[in-house]
Structure formats: structure tokens, C-alpha cells
A and B are shown apart, each in its own frame.
Chain A
Amino acid sequence: MIKNYSPYLTGLRYFVSFVFLMLISVVCFSQTITLSVRNAPLQKVMDAVKKQTKFSVISNKSLLNSAPNVTISVVNEPLTSFLAKVFKDQPSVYSIEDRTIIISPKENKNNSRTPVPKAQEPTVDVNGKVMNKKSGEPLGAVSVKVKGIRTATSTTLKGEFYVPKQSYNSVLVFTSVGFDSLQVHLNEYRDMQEGSVLAVKNLTIRKTDYGYSLSVSLDPAVSYLDEVMVQGYGTTDRRTGTGNVARISAKELEQQPVSNPLLALQGRVPGMIVSPTNGYASSPVKIEIRGRKNIGSSFVSDPMYIIDGVPLTNLDLNGSNSSYERGSMGVIQNGLVTTTGGQSPLYNLNSRDIESIEVLKDGDATAIYGSRAANGVILITTKKGKPGATKFSVNLEQGFSAITQYSSMLNTQQYLQVRRDAFKNDNLQPTATTAPDLVTWDSTKYTDWQKKLWNHIGKQTNASMGVSGGDVQTQFRISANYGRQTEILTTKGSNQRASFAFNMSHSTLNRRFKIQLNTMYTYSAVDAIASPGLATLPPNAPDIYNAEGTLNFAPWRTAGYFDFPFTSLEMPYYSNTHLMTSNLNLSYEIAHNLTFSTNFGYNSTSNGQKNYIPIRAQDPIYNPTGMAFFGTNTNMNWIIEPQINYSLKLGEGKLTALVGASLQKTITRGAGTLGTGYENDEFIESINLAQQSSTTENQGYYKYAAVFGRINYNWQDKYIININGRRDGSSRFGPGNQYGNFGSLGAAWLMSNEDWIKDHLPSFISFMKLRGSYGLTGSDGVGDYQYLTKWSKNPAGTVWYDYDGSTPLVSGQAVNQNYKWQVNKKLEGAFSIGFLDSRINLEVALYRDRCGNQLTRYPTPFYTGFPSVTANWPAVVDNKGFELSINANLINTENFNWTMTLNGGRNSNILKDYPNIQNSPYASTLKIGESINTVYLYHYTGVDPLTGNYTFEDRNRDGVVSGDDPRGPGIGDKYVRVDLSPKFSGGMGNTFTYKKFSLSCFFDFKNQMFTDPVSSYGTIIGGLNNQPTAILGNYWKAPGDQVKYAKPSTISNQGNMMYLSSDAKYVSASYIRLNNIALSYTLDQKIARKIGAESLRVYMNAQNIFVLTNAKGIDPDLQQFGSLPPARILLCGLSLNF
């Protein structure tokens, strides 16, 4: 179990236990006894002592039973003299430690006092008390074992124990259910002076004349249910939370060798789909939580990202190429279609600096973020310093990546046969222009183009170090890391990333004023080369480079290939990004239950790009000149959030309240300069040497203000109610529409804390909870200034020339001042149950997200002046589904531990309502009651055995297979419905630890439809492009053939076109992927010490190990054929702590 307390809390804990220890050490011994017994057993006498003095007594039971009876009569006799009288004639001796009387056999005491023969190892007695560190109360029934010896005892109800006659090599192990175990190496305290006291973490040790007296405090083990989770402006846990928060810990992040922390979330959070947009490390990652909400294709599905309370907002500027399909372009906002398809701002973050990532999904969890929470919220919390001895850690890693598999394509012989068949079927003679592959090119040459370019072992090297430590008042953490990674492309391509993080917190001695600063600076450098579409190139096509080492244009051009496929190999792309994020938090405790705090946050990204099209990348016969694009992108966010926290015991419950305000500003700028006419490739790196240049710039301002509040009332841990409210104002709306109100109501009922239920529950059920929430959130994600008329000289990048001696101004957008907040209504109900002391936990959540008043770009006819306008869409889209998560600690013994997690989510997307759909732009593509991702297709009826052409069902029996029906989608011959949204997705993880080995593996799975790769190679079998081996023996050759694929032909016909709009194009691509394996071994401490380290761990992580799927193609997540596929990564590392 991972413990995660905020530093304040940790500090407080230390402080409290410190005070507690001080108190108990000054308790005085002025106790007296009044007793009169005759021939009474010693046991009885000691019981009386306990009763009168409240001292506890520790002894061996047999010792007391076998002791001679006692006769004594005293009045107000001091305890010490009383005991002296009692034990005068006893075969045992006593001692008093704190408030404990320890009785031990006389011989032992004598032994320990008599000089020990040198040959014999000296022994000591150990006694003491065990306490619960959190509550400060004594802990009974704690098992006290001596390592390697079978002797064991346990503490009394008052937490006392006694272990006699131990050698200095003994290791005492304190274990108790529900607490972290603690080990005491006596050896370490050998040199202590008698009577001296030493306090280390969780242990105060005092050397006495007979041995040691310990005061041990055990940390309550944090169970899965009580794990602290970050939520908006506070923390919560699974036991008492009312909302849906999923947490991914640092450990899960660290063991995944992925470049972007977001990719480590793949399959880990039910209901969240994480898809890499392509195989480049820095590429944007598309995240969709609980289904597609907006019909608009320009609306990205990304949730809101918040790092340590500071939103990382990158405005999607006009013309930035962001879209639902491609995701947000992220850092790159100047409109350049980059090789990597934009850049994820989170690529700059290193997983090693992240303590946890929380995903907020339902209304209760997200409503506190108001208008920007429609797509969910991802909170990233960075690592903080912890009090204790200064720790120095170092990690070194070396990894390798390679392509998982290649598309299986025809070889030259097979390919040429298909081509010959095609010409034969067409009754055409191949000529040098129509068939260079048959006529001009070497018919014996064979190149596997995929292997040629992707057959590279990418390497990655990472090094990181961290120092953390501090005392009760001040803690700090400093970390730095550097990583370099090369892509799997054989030509070029590498990424570098370096970061530096600093965190410090301090509190005054009275702990009323606290201050915390987090700062992180990261730098990344991307060097990428676009990969051409390889698989379909004819296998006997000429080489990429000629003998001189330049691109081999001539033979391709003369063969009629006007677009030389490999130009991109000589068009380098560089992108350097600096990301700085920082926040300062001040808090002051006005009264013991009232705290005022303020968070100041700032982050900025600054990016520079270079993309060259040198002369050498262009066919020399056209006398080309070079081109270069120089882009800059900057993004800045600042935020100020004052808050007041208030808590109160109210009745039998606890009330906490939060009121705060938020003020935020974001400025995003994207600019690019295109230089053309370079006469020389040497000049290309400077814009000064371009013959012409033109610059475009886009910028967005965004301001945001809000007041928010939360009231939480927890009545006896049985009934919990949580109310969030927020009033938001955004600069993205026109006058009068800037403010909106959002809020949520969440409630939880902990049934297992209800006596009348508890009594009827079988004992193996330890926890039961029902919770539900309803919330309103919104979205203002439409870009800036959309409500303004914008007259400019160069709308959308075109420059208007002067007319009549004046500068012309042209209106740039259609204007609608009346658009308002998009409203998402989130409803959720969930049931949690825990078994076997909550070692096995299961939660099922049902939800419905209803997105109405959709804010997006609404298509308008051209005659209105513009093709679209920002407006609220009348459509209502529902996403309904369920999510399941199981966390089970199946085996937990001293040496072996097995934890399993399983999660899954099913979402169904439905267009609930769309008034007047028949007059909308979507009349022919959307249908009420169907998913908005549904496509309507012809039904493919196979290849006509007579003609060899594809055939389709004439559903409406009108004699022709015709296209869209004017009455709407799904009515005419295109009636087959295929919903392209994933049906079910999830993940399963297992973690095994055996002694010092730890192994974890993680599978993720998805049930989805995807484009059959065979169809994406181009449906004309027989054209000048290679085909997958799937067609072998399965394409039409002669009349009567019953086959799957049509006759080879060089001419496209209606059937080829319709094939791509038929159900034959989509196949099920469900898969199970072994996404991650992490193996680690902690070396014996002795070995670690030899090199001066405290601990030494070696590990091996692997990513994307294998995929089980029925789908063909390189990867079932890669829908666009030809993109660089995700690689398999293997990484070995070494972790040292000093």
C-alpha cells in the first residue's frame, strides 16, 4: 500500500507523536499501595497492584503461576518499597520501566549482571510498549518476533511486551494486522550509553542496566479504501468519498517505460480511453473520458489538465489543426502540420517527478472545476519532500525499442502476377507509363520497404537523481533527470528531455503558517522525420537512394511516379520546448478550524520549430529552390486562488466547508515564418537568406474568474453529503453570457457502518457503500473572440492587396454574440463492497452524461457569408455506461504478496434528441437514437462469381444500389449500422512480490470495430501498389470463382468505391494487449552497503509486449495505415538509495 499524506499532515503526525513521547516520559512514580493478603498467589498480588497504580505488569505466565504465595499487609506503602517486600523471597526479580512493572526470573537478572565469559555472546532483555502512531493509543496483540528464531510473544492489551535474553544480533519484528510492520536491529544500538535515550522514526529506545526499553509506534497500514486521493481543492479517500476519482500511483507510472505520462494511463482507468495519435514519442495523446460528447468535429475530447493546482491550458487557436479525430495539437498552435502531428504538452513531464495522477469523472468530483470540467479533469501531483533523514536516490536506465510486427505483403513474384492478371482482365497492354513495374523495373528485385525503414532498434537512456529530506518544520526535494531516445526509424529521429524540479515547504513552529513552493523546469528536443507510407510500395520499385547517395528521383519519375515517396526522408523537423511550471501556496490557520490559504500558480511553454524542405529533397529537373518554416509557439497561464477552509464538529458529525475564488489568464501565441526561394541548402537554416518570406501569427487571450464552494458533512461515517457550487466567468463569451452557474450534489451511505445492517452481514463482507451524485458542468472550449466581428487585412492567413490606395479590411468570421455555456449533466450511482477486511474491493458505477446546448462550430450555408459559426447546437448526446473496478490483495504473507486489479468500462453513445434534425447539416449522417459515431453502410454481398466485381445488397429493391437516402441515414441501401466507438475497454494488472522480487504485469483490452487494413491498402487489387498477402488465393481469377476479393484490375469501378462505404470495410478489432511487465529485485543490503548505498534495486520494464487479436495489420489501435506504429520497449534499470 502506498501512503500518501500531504506534507502538512505528515509533519503534524510527527509533531503530535513527539509531544506525546515527551509527556509520557515525565510521568512520576508517586504511587502507593494498600493491601492485606495472606498466602495469596503472586498473580493476585500483582493484579491488585495494577488496579491501584494503573501500572501494567509484564511477566511470563508460568513464572507467576509457579511463584510462591505471598503474605503481606501494608497501608499507603510506596510502590517501590512494597515491591521490594514482595519480591524479597521470590525466585524472580522486578523492575519498573515507565509505568510498567516487569517481572523476570532471578537467574536471568543475575546472569546479565554477572560478568559474561568472553567466549559467550552477551545477552540483553528487551521490554517496552507498542502504540498506534495515529491515535497514540496502546496497541494490543501485536506480534513480537525475533527474526530467525521461533520464539514469539505478543503485546498485552496495554501494548506491553517483554522479550528476555536476546543477543545483539537479534532483529525484533513487530507486526499487527492493519499496521505497517517495524523491525528493530539491536545491533545498531549496541554502543549506546546506559541511561541514554535515542529517538528515531517510530521508535524511542533507552538503554537500561539490563538491556533496552523500547517505545514503538506503528503506522496504521493504509488500506485501499483509506488511501488519500487528491481531488479538486482538497483530498478524499475511497471510504468516505462521494465522487468518482481514480488514482494512478507513482509506482504504476514509474514501471512503464513510456515517454508521455499520459500513455501510462492506458487501460488503468475504467471509462477512459487513451490513444496515441501515432508512434512518435512527443505526439499528442488523445484522451476521451466516458465517450464522445460533442458532435462538432473541431471539438477536442481532451480533459482539463491541472498540475499541482495550476491548469495547463493550451488554447486551440484558429487554424491550429486540432480536431476530434487528431486531438489537440497541444504545444504547436501555429498551424504547421508537423511530422509528429502536434506535440503533447505533457511530453515534457517526467513520470519520476509525479506522485500521483487522479482522474475525476463524475459530477461530484468535477463540478468544482465548473465550466471546464465537461470532459473530466486530470490532476497531476508532483512529488514532495518528506521529513526524515536526507535521502539521495539515483536511477539509471537503458532501454531498447523495436517494431512489433510488419504488415505481411506480397513478394515481387506474387505482386507481379496480380498485376499481370489485372492487365489481362482489362484487356490492356502494360506500357512503360501504365506499368513501370512490369515493363521498366527489374522484375527480380525485391525490397521489403517496411524493413528498410523501420527495422531499427531504438535506444533510450535515462538518468535521474533526487535528494529529499527535511525536519518537522522544513522539507525539500530536488530532482533532476535526463533522457535520450532514438526512434525505430532507420534514418533519423531522436528525442531528448531534461528536467529539474524543486519543492520546498516550511511551517512555523506553531504550525499555523505554512508555505510551499513547487517549481519544475523541463526541456525537450524532438528531431523527427516523417515516415512515408511504405507497405503499399511495389516490391520491385527502384531504391530510395542512388549511387551518389542522393534521392533516387530519376527512375521513379520516368516510371510515371510523379510523387516520389521518400522526399520526407530529407525533410528534417526539429521542435524544442521549454516548460516551466511553478506554484506557491501560503496558508494560515486563523483559528484551529479555520484556515486561509492562497495558491499562486504559473506555467509557461515556449516552443521553437524548424522544418526544412531542402533542394535535395526535391526532384532536380524542376529546378527547385529550398523552403524553410520557422515556428514559435508560446503559452502562458497564471492563476490565483484564495481559499478558506472551515471545519466544525456539528452534532455527531463533522462539517467541512471550503470557499474560494479563482482568477486565471492564459495567453497562447503561435507564429510561423515561411522562407522560400533558398538557392542553396547551406542557407536554409537562416531566414535572412530566404528570397521571400511571409509571416503569420495567431494569438489567443483567455481570462477566467470564478467563485466556488464546497460543503461536506459526514455524520458518524455513515451518511456523507457533499455539495459543490461554482460561478464561472469566461472571456470566451459575449457580453451578458459570460457567467454561468455549475454545481453538484453527492451523497454516500456507508451501509456497513449501520448497526442493523452490520448485524446481518456475513463476516466476510467488511465494507458496503452506496453513493450517488448529480452535477452540472460546462464547456467553453470554442476558442477566443468568437463573439466579436473580426475585420482584418489577412483573415485565415491570406493577405489582401491594397485597393484604391487604401488598406482593405475583410470580415474574418461569422458572428454570433448569443452563444452560451455548453451544459453537461452528469449523473452517477455506485456501489462498493469490500470483502475479507477490505482486502478485496469491488466497485460498480453506473453513469449517464448528458451533453446539451452543445457549443461548437455550427455549419452554415455559404450564402450566409461563412461556412460555419460558433453556436450552441440543439443536439443532446447521451453517454451511458457502467464501470467496474476490482482491487484484490489475494495473498498476503510475510514473504509472498499477490495483488490484482481489474477494471473495465462500457459506454454507449446515443444521440438523444435533435430538434429539427431534418433541416440540419446532419440530416443525412446522424440519426436520433443512434450513436454519433455510427456510420451507415452498404451491405457487401461478396464477389460476383461471373464478373469478379464486388456486389452489394439492393435493400430497397429499386433495381439499383444507390447512395444516401434523402429521408435520412440508414434508410436506403446504406442501411448497415456500424458504431465505431469502442464498446468495452479496460485493464487487468497483477503484482507479485516474493521476498525481494517483485513482478507485475498489466493487460489492457478493448472491444472495437476498425478499418480492415486490407481495405485501407486501396480496394483496387491490381493497381500500382502492393497488396497484403491476405488476398493470395482469395481473389477472382476466372468465372465461377467463389472468393473474397474482386478481380484484379487497373481501373477503378463503382464497386471499388462502394466497397469502402460498405460493411466489408470494418472488422472487429478486439484485442488483449500485454501492455507492461515490470520485474524488480532488491539486492541484499550487505551488497548495497559495499558500494556505499542504503539500498540497491535492479529492474526491468517492458512495454507493448504482445497483442492477442483477430484483427490483421500492424496494431489494432493504429487505424491509419502507414503511420509509424507503436514500438515494443524493453528497459533495464538500476535504482540506488543513499
Chain B
Amino acid sequence: MWPFVKFLILHQMTIQRNLNTYRVLTGLMILVCFSCKKLVSIPEPVDTMTTVKLFTTDSQANSAMVGVYGQLINGFDNSAIDGQSGFSCGLSTLTASSSSDELTGFYLNNDGNKLISVDPSSLALWKTAYQGIYGANAVIEGIEASTSLSLHNNVRNNLTGEAKFVRAFCYFYLVNFFGDVPLALTVDFNQTANMSRTPKAEVYAQIVKDLLDAKAKLPDDFSGSKTGERIRANKWAATALLARVYLYTGNYAEAVSQSGEVIGQTGLFQLKADLNDVFLKNSSEAIWQLQQSNKDSFRGNATPEGASFLVDISQTNVYPFVLSDELVPLFEDQDKRKKAWLTTSGKDGKIYYTPYKYKIGKINSSFQGEITEYYMALRFAEQYLIRAEARVLANQSLDLAIADLNVIRHRAGVNDLPSTLSRVEVISAVERERRLELFAEWGHRWFDLKRTGRAHDVLSVIPRKQPWSGDYQLLYPIPPVEILNNHNLIQNPGY
């Protein structure tokens, strides 16, 4: 020990003696420490922008919200060339329709109700819906945290409203595909990474809360869009989705009143007389559309669903999505929807019916061609059907319900329903009308079957779903990789 003690004592003395040296050293230390912060600060990257910087001006904040819309329509790795990689650019339609009795998607497991836990489309639905939620959360939190005076109040309100609407929209599809899902309301992974699945009712409560908030914040016209188009959520988009959510959650009176509010906006929305015009861009029937790009060389100017459905089946070795044998016979001959919204093609000696709501598909799209159609996310016609159903279930006047249905039937060129129908008959008429009007749109049919409790009875007898693997298939599997990374998530039973 002694040498070290001596060393320490002498060391002290040396320092005294060599005061000059000591000063030089201390000076150097101070110099270095003083400018420490600067020494290791690097310029912010030039090709990216931080959240703090982003939400300082109106136009930058708008870019962030536009990014969320862009992700919704383009799929989240921008590879949604044919509508199969994002829930909001075709995948909801393809999977849910195949799982029901609506479409036959030959190469999806959903078709025969033979989903397995590692199903890629299940992962894509989950992942993309949550990426949309992340984007919405980032906008909400970014605006909230911004103290910039250059980010004006009206823009703050508009963008927050849009983000809340998008968040609600994403969660709506998540609960309908997966049941209970983790309710992530922040971008902070510390708060969300270990959460359990939130009960469906709580998720719906949040959806309603977000939509009400959005409804209050959003403009009642299409002024939110720079180009004045129907491609950004406004007050009526929030109201329309609210009407649907109330219908799904059994709050029929509210469903009647919300859909009624939308239907009352006759200055903005009307049913298109010509069925071929319904899905055109900014059509008067559009409450909210998503704007696709024409800059993708594969998809061209087609919508993602158009690109999926309208392919030349004689040139492909796989069959595309076609109408099921159950659905086709339901169309009455005079139903204009059969002619306007279906197209046929033959292969191997058989006639296949393909959805033809969008007229531009893979077969006739052109790179950088003029965009005539947008991808319809919320449609005015649905509001009549919501109100009709909600009126019956809320035990309101059957006549009014039948009148709502007849608005839709009238446009389709089929006979009005008689006012003599019983309550049960009206309910069944609503189901049938929804099936015919909303086919191949966002999985309505499958969700309807599930929420009305008729899924087992209807689906378990369909030949191509034999042997019926079980009702557990009515919820999609939680992607196993999620459970791997968060053991608090419990897989849906059966997978």
C-alpha cells in the first residue's frame, strides 16, 4: 500500500509545485467542457425533417396529414400496386369479401375459411391499419405539442379533425377484422409496446369519441382540400362513419339521426342517376374518396380495386376475384346494377362475373393517364341503408325505412318495396339491399353477417367452405410476430 499512499501525497505536492502545468491542464479541460454541447451537435439531416420542425407552419403540417392519406391509398410500403397490401387500398374488400359469400378469391385462404395464423393478408391488414393510426397519432400529438404561431388555429382544427377521423376509420376496420385490439393512441412506443388487447367496446367508445371530436372540428364543406376535391375527410365524412358505428354498436337512434344529418346535406350529396357515374372522382355520391396516383407504372391511373378486379383472366394462370355463385343469381334481370356494375369474362368454358364499379383496371389503365375515378371510401347511398336499418331496429316507422330502401331500389331500376312488409321482412330486405348495393366494397357483406349474428348459418353451408373449419374464422388471427414481440397479446381462439 505504502508506495501508492506516498504517490498520492507526492502527487498533490507536485501539483502545487507545478502550478503552471496545472493551469494549462485545467484551462484545456475547461475549454473543452465549455464548448462541449457544440462539439457534438450535428446539423439536422437535410433529407428529413423532425416533428418539432414539421409542425411549425400550416403547409408543413398539412404535408404530414397528406402523408397519412398517401399511406392509406398507396399501401404502406408503397407497393400496393393491385390492392393487396393495404387495408385501405383494396385489401379489406378482397379479404372480407372472400371470407363471406360475396367474392371468390381463388388464391386466398379466406375463400374456403381456411385461414392460418401466419396468413400474409392478415398481417398486412393489421400492419397497415396500425401504420395509419401511427400517422394519425403523430399528427394529433405534433399539433398539440406545437407552440408555433405560424400554425394557425383553423389549420390545427382541420388537421386534428382529419387525423382523428382517420384513426377512427382504421380502428373500425381493426375491430371488425380482429375483435379486441390494442388501442394505441400515442406514438410513444414505451406506452404501447406491452399493452394487452383492448376490449372491442372500449375501442368503439374511442372511435365514437374521435368521430365526435372530428365532427366538431372539421369544415362542413370540401374547403379542407387545397384542390376542393372530396379526398379529405370533412364534417360529413365523420358523421357518415359515426352513423355506421352507431348502427354496428346498436345505438340505432343515434344512427338514424347521424345518417339523417348526412342525407340532409342535399347541397353536397345526391345519388347519381347513372350508375356508371357513381365511382367517378368527386362524384356527388362521394362523401370521402381516396386519391390514387397515376405515377405507378403497374397500376397506371386505375384505382387499386379496379386494378385488382379488371384483369384479363385469359392471360393469367390464376383466377382473379369473381362474384360468388351465391351472389350472382340475386340480381334481378331489370336490376341496372347487374349491367352497370358487373362485367363478364370466360375461361375454361365458364362465365365469370367480375365487379365493374370501377371502370379502369389493369386491362385499360395507362401510366400517367388522366385520372377519372377515385377510390370510394364512404358513399352516400350507404347512409340511406344505414337509416333504413336503424329505423327498423329502433322501432321507428317501417314506412320510413321502406322509403329509404326504395330510394336505392329506385335508382337501380327495380320495383319499390310494398309498404305492407312486416318488420322481419324489412330487416331481410335491408340485408339483401345492402348485399346488392354495397357488394365488393370494403367488406360490408361479411361485417353485416357478423354483426347480425347470421354468419354461421349463412357461411357454414357454402360448398366451397366445406368442411367448415369453425366459427373462429370469423375473426382473423393476430399476426404471430406481434405476439412474439408482445407476449401480452393473446391470440384469437382457434389459431
Write the residues of chain A forming the contact surface with B, with a CB cutoff of 8 angstroms. Answer: 594, 596, 642, 644, 646, 648, 650-653, 655, 659, 661, 663, 697, 699, 701-705, 707, 713, 715, 718-719, 721, 729-731, 738-739, 784-785, 788-792, 795-796, 798-812, 814-816, 859-866, 869, 918-921, 923-924
Contact = CB atoms under 8 A, between A and B. Distances in A.
Contacts of B54: 789, 791, 809
Interface string B120-135: 0001001100110111
B42 A705 contact: no
Contacts of B232: 804
B45 A808 contact: no
A945 B359 CA distance: 62
8 contacts: A648-B14, A659-B29, A661-B28, A788-B44, A809-B54, A809-B60, A862-B479, A919-B487
B77 A798 contact: yes
Interface residues of B, number: 85
Contacts of A702: 42
B130 A863 contact: yes
B36 interface: yes
B39 interface: yes
Interface string B14-50: 1000100100110011001100110111111111111
A921 B45 CA distance: 31
Interface stretch (B179-187, B202-210, B337-345): B179-187
Given A650-B14, A713-B3, A803-B70, 20 more contacts: A650-B10, A650-B11, A651-B3, A661-B32, A701-B45, A704-B40, A705-B32, A705-B40, A707-B32, A785-B45, A796-B77, A801-B296, A804-B69, A804-B226, A805-B227, A806-B66, A811-B51, A862-B127, A863-B130, A865-B133
Interface string B72-83: 011001110000
A651 B45 contact: no
Contacts of B134: 811, 864-866
A790 B48 CA distance: 5
Contacts of B41: 703, 731
B66 A803 contact: yes
B66 A864 contact: no
A1049 B10 CA distance: 83
Contacts of B43: 701
A865 B63 contact: no
A785 B51 CA distance: 13
Contact of A860 (B62, B78, B126, B189): B189
Interface of B: 3-4, 6-7, 10-11, 14, 18, 21, 24-25, 28-29, 32-33, 36-37, 39-52, 54, 59-60, 62-64, 66-67, 69-71, 73-74, 77-79, 123, 126-127, 130-131, 133-135, 137-138, 181-182, 184, 187, 189-190, 192-194, 225-227, 229, 231-232, 291, 293, 295-296, 479, 481-482, 484-489
B298 to A, nearest CB: 13
A298 to B, nearest CB: 16
Contact of B59 (A703, A731, A800, A806): A806
B74 A701 contact: no
A810 B21 contact: no
B193 A792 contact: no
B295 A801 contact: yes
A160 B187 CA distance: 86
Contact of A703 (B40, B69, B126, B296): B40
Contact of B25 (A659, A697, A815): A659
Contact of B130 (A661, A796, A799, A865): A865
Contacts of A594: 21
A717 to B, nearest CB: 12
Contacts of B225: 804
Contacts of A807: 63, 66
A814 B3 contact: no
Contacts of B485: 859-861, 921
Given A642-B28, A644-B24, A803-B231, A715 B488 contact: no
Give 9 closest A-B pairs by Cβ, nearest first.
A865-B134, A801-B293, A705-B39, A790-B48, A808-B67, A808-B70, A789-B51, A798-B78, A792-B48
Contact of B488 (A653, A865, A919, A921): A919
A814 B189 contact: yes
Contact of B69 (A652, A808, A859): A808
A697 B47 CA distance: 9
Contacts of B42: 701-703, 731, 784
Contact of A731 (B11, B40, B50): B40
Nearest to A794: B47
A605 to B, nearest CB: 20
A729 B48 contact: no
B228 to A, nearest CB: 10
B482 A862 contact: yes
Contacts of B71: 800, 808, 810
B2 to A, nearest CB: 9
B356 to A, nearest CB: 26
A707 B62 contact: no
Most B-side CB within 10 Å, residue of A802, A808, A920? A808
B433 to A, nearest CB: 33
Contacts of A924: 484
B154 to A, nearest CB: 17
Given A703-B41, A800-B74, A805-B227, A865 B187 contact: yes
A789 B137 CA distance: 13
A707 B69 contact: no
Contact of B50 (A651, A791, A802, A806): A791
